[in-house]
Structure 1
Amino acid sequence: MAYQATFKRYEIKYLLTQQQKEAVLQAMKPYMKLDGYGRTVIRNIYFDTGNFRLIRRSLEKPSYKEKLRIRSYQTAADDDSVFVELKKKYKSVVYKRRLTLPEAQAMNIFRYDLPLPVQSQIAEEIEYFRSYYADLHPAVFLSYEREAFYSLDGGDFRVTFDENILYRESDLSLSSEVYGIPLLGEGQTLMEIKTSGGLPLWMSHTLNRLKVFKTSFSKYGMAYQHMMTKSETDEERNTCYVC
């Protein structure tokens, strides 16, 4: 039986230098702990339409936006579990619907337009999404190295640090090696705070002291913009100008 989960929370993003990251980690020590997975390489395949309707709409910063991806926390063999995730954002609140399926089954469902083998509210939402955006296909492979920390007080406050964020437009497989074009500058880290409430005072004081301010950073959005810039540059190089 497929595992299912639903999440509702705020996700606040910050771009840090190496020095800022070390200072935040120091401040976190009395309050948070690295989860048992340590540093994990996360692999994602994002789905979109032929004209990138989903990400173009997302970059317009509407009050409501959504995306679909398949995610793995390891190099996935056919029988390994992966997550089919529908992620929605409405007025800064993130809602995530998640199903767990074997990698080969999940990919074949989208490759051959097969129905999900699950009957549930989450499955219905994903199926409606697939029907509404009729020509969905794998668009981008996106990976990154993540360290995730949880709160020692038992609350839902979490902090993640993502580094070595890479994307590519080919070899869109969760079973392949991690490689691609980097989206962060040297020494940069993307920190995400995930919470259903506000920030603890110690974290607010730390961010203020370090002069760290929240930013808008969509990994898939950055990859798309990079793809479009690269495409325009390649087109200019290949244009023959007649003088």
Structure 2
Amino acid sequence: MLLTRDAATIDRYELKYLIPMSYVEPISDFIAPYCELDKYSLSTDNHFYTVNSLYLDTRGNEFLKQRLWGKASRFNMRARAYGDATSPPYFLEVKRKTGAGVKKFRATLNQSEWPGILTNDGSFTDESNNAIDKNKDLFLRLAASYAIEPKILTQYKRRAFFSVVNEYARVTLDIDLKYQLESKFNLIPGKQMTHYDNEVIYTKGESNGSCVILELKCPIGQVPVWMIDLIQYFELKQEGFSKYMNSSLTSMFDDGFQYMNPDRATPQNLFYS
């Protein structure tokens, strides 16, 4: 399948790495000959933009359990908005993982559709050949089948790149990870958002400062040579990191404040101090 930057459906590898803040600029420089910043990163001075994701699940947290159990075939559902989340576009996304591959189905919503499309009876458009409409229908059918409800709202800052030498390849760097429990179809973060960045530190019993999520994304079976060079040059070790799972575990086992001082060092402070 041919991929484009704005494809509604993407079938790809998503290779994740936990890296220290000190790697952010060197990695950005390393990939500069092969990539350019995406339109959202270009709109900010430091090239990090805000991403808000509302994760949805069954009443019994079936999607979260599948991730915790490490099922090879699983999916999750989320709504997403950028910036302060007060204006469109809004996105509905289903991400299905099968083995090493991830397939993402994305539909775009306008101002009048969010959040009513999830709180009212949705209408299906079986006859539509439009990929966005098909993905919207898929999301609404799954939402009805699983009786999904809001669980947790996450926010982070992202620097994102697209390849200029490959048909499709993407690099993202995520910092300043926060969450809040959410019971409504709401994408606007509140003042109660709490950091969970060093979930990757204290759950492993070590303070290695690896609080940045680096993700390399490319078509299945088509890893660019420059990505392989990047992995080897920085000696990166691939490991999974789920924002939904880690923020949920933090909310269950850490009230978010008992570690704030001095143990919980946020990348925002590390990066801009």
Assess same fold via TM > 0.5: yes
Name the SS of the counterpart of 1:22 in structure 2: helix
Structure 2 residue ranges without an equivalent (≥5): 1-5, 42-47, 129-133, 199-208, 259-273
Matched, 1:219 2:227: no
Report whether the alignment pairs 1:141 with 2:164: no
- The answer for the alignment partner of 1:97 in structure 2 is 105
Q: Are the equivalent residues in 2 in contact too, given 1:143–1:178 (CA < 8 A)?
A: no
Distance 2:192 2:168 in 1: 32
Tell whether 2:76 aligns with 1:67. Answer: yes
Task: Provide the rounded CA distance (Å) in 2 between the counterparts of 1:123 and 1:36.
Answer: 24
Partner of 1:237: none
The amino acid that maps onto 1:188 is C
Give the match for residue 151 of structure 1: 163
Give CA-to-partner distance per residue, 1:61-97, whole Å, 9 cap, x none. 11211111110113233x6220011111111211111
Letter of the 2:79 partner, please give it: I
Structure 1 residues not aligned, in runs of 5+: 235-243
TM-score, normalised to structure 2's length?
0.75
Change (3 A) 1:161 1:178: farther
In the aligned structure 2, how far is the partner of 1:222 from the partner of 1:116? Answer: 34
1:127 partner letter:
L
1:115 equivalent among 103, 115, 122: 122
Match of 2:241, SS state, is coil
TM-superposed CA distance for 1:37, in Å, is: 1.8
Residues 149 and 160, structure 1, Cα contact 8 Å, conserved in 2: yes
Among 175, 181, 184, the alignment partner of 2:188 is 175
With 151-160 and 100-109 compared, the bigger mean Cα shift is at 100-109
Question: Quick one: distance in 2 between partners of 1:199 and 1:179?
Answer: 40
| Number of aligned residue pairs | 227
* Structure 2 CA distance for partners of 1:88 and 1:187, relative to 1, 3 Å: closer
Of residues 129, 147, 161, the one that matches 2:142 is 129
Match of 2:94 among 64, 86, 98: 86
Q: Which residue of 2 aligns with 1:240?
A: none
**Percent of matched pairs sharing the same residue:** 26
Letter of the 1:222 counterpart: N
TM-score (normalised: structure 1): 0.83
What do you get for the CA RMSD once the two structures are aligned?
Answer: 2.5
When structure 1 is superposed on structure 2, of 208-217 and 179-188 the one drifting more is: 179-188
